[in-house]
Amino acid sequence: MAELEALEDWVGGLMAQMEPRGRRKLALAIGRDLRRNNAKRIRANVEPDGDRMEKRKPREKVRSNSGKIRRSAKMFQKMAAARNLRIKASPDQVKIGYTNNLIARVAAVHHFGLRDFVGKTPDGKTIKTDYPARELLGISDADREGILTAALEHLEAGL
C-alpha cells in the first residue's frame, strides 16, 4: 500500500504541472469511470468495500391489480441511472452525486442510516422508521487503481 501512496504523490506532482484544461478532461474521464463503477455496485446492492448491503425488511405480500403477488425488486435501481448520478468536474476535483433533491435525500437517509418518514396511519399518526446504513457511493481499492491508471495513461498521451 505504501507503493500505491508513493505513486499517488508522484502522479499528483506531474498533474500539478498540467494545463487546467487537461486536468479537467482527466477529471471528467475519472468521474465517468467512478460513476460507472458505483452504478454497477448500487445495482448489485454491494457496498464499495465489497460487502453485501443489508437486505430490506420483508413486507407483506402485496397484490397487483390483476391479483398476482408483486415481487420486490432490488433496492436503488433508479439511483444508479446516469440521469440521477451526476458528475461535476473542475481542474482540481471531481464530484459525483445526486442533483435531484428527492433522490439526494433518500440516498442520504440510506447512506448514513438515518430515520425517515414512511407514511401516515388511518388515524393521522406519522410513521417513521430507522434505516440501516447502506453505503451507496464510495471509492474501492479497484477504483483507486483505476484512477491511477487513467492518470498515467493521460500523462503518457500528453508526452
Residue 34: closest CA among 85, 84, 78, 76: 85
User: What is the model's pLDDT at position 153?
Assistant: 86
Q: Is the pLDDT of residue 36 over 80?
A: yes
**Alpha carbon distances (Å) from 101 to 54, 62, 97, 134:** 24, 29, 11, 19
Q: What is the mean pLDDT of residues 65-74?
A: 68
Amino acid identity of residue 24, one-letter, is R
What would the pLDDT profile of 110-147 be if each residue is shown by its tens digit? Answer: 999 999 988 888 888 898 989 999 999 999 989 988 88
Does 85 have pLDDT greater than 70? yes
Q: How many CA atoms lie within 13 A of 136 on its CB side?
A: 26
